[in-house]
Amino acid sequence: MTPNQLTLPAFPLKSILLPGEATKLHIYEERYKELVQDCLDNDASFAIPFFENGKMSDYGCEVKIKNVVKEYADGKKDILIECVRIFTIIEYSETLSPKLYGAVLIEFERENTVITNSNLQDAIIHYFSTVQNKMIDYDTLSKLNVYNIAASLQLSAQEKLELIASRNKQAVLLNQIKFITHIVNAEQELNNRFMFN
C-alpha cells in the first residue's frame, strides 16, 4: 500500500458528492447502523463508492459525519455528512469481517485541482456575476478549486461523475459553465420577448 492508499468502511450510494458538499442520510440497515456508530465512536470518516446503473463505479468520496440530526428508539439515525475528498477505488469488499459492513481500498486523487486556466477563470467570474448575481474577483478565485466551483453549479450525478473521471477537469468544468450560462441566457431572452409582446 502506498502513502496515498487507505482502507475505509464503505457505504455504496447512487448519489455523488463533491468536496465541500453536504447531505443528510437516513441510516436504517443494521450494517450501516454499525458503520455509523463505529465512525462516531472513533471520530472516523467513511467512504461512499458511487453506484451507477446497478454497478460500482471506479470513483467515490470520503465523508465525515458533521452531526447526528435525529436518533430513533430502534437505533436508526439521520446524519449530516460532508464530502472531504475524492478517490479512485482499487478494491471493494462486501464485508469486512467481523463487521457487517464492507470496505474499500482507495487511492486519493493526486491531481492539483487549483484553477489555472484563464478562460475558465473568466467564465467563472462571468457566470457568478450574470447567473448568480454574485461578485467574485480573481483573488478570491485563486483560493478556490475545481470542486468548489462545481459544487455551486447544481450538476447532475452524471455531470459530477464526468468531471471526477476526467483527466482535464478544468476543460470539463469550462464546458459545463458555458452550457449552464447559455441555457440561463436563452431563458432570459425568452422571458424578455414575452414581456415586450
pLDDT at residue 195, as a whole number: 59
Q: What is the pLDDT of residue 196?
A: 56
Query: Residue 71: which residues within 8 A CB-CB, separation 6 or more?
Result: 77
Q: In angstroms, what CA-CA distances link 81 with 74, 84, 135, 167?
A: 21, 9, 29, 27
Query: Does residue 35 register a pLDDT over 90?
Result: yes
Q: What is the mean pLDDT of the chain?
A: 90
pTM score: 0.85
Please give the grid coordinates belonging to residue 74: 430502534
DSSP letter assigned to residue 132: S
Asked if 90 contacts 105 with a C-beta cutoff of 8 angstroms, the reply is yes
- Domains belonging to the chain, first-starting first, are 5-108 (2.30.130.40), 118-196 (no CATH)
Q: pLDDT digit string (tens) for 59-78?
A: 999 999 999 999 999 999 99
pLDDT at 54 over 60: yes
CA distance 87 to 59: 6
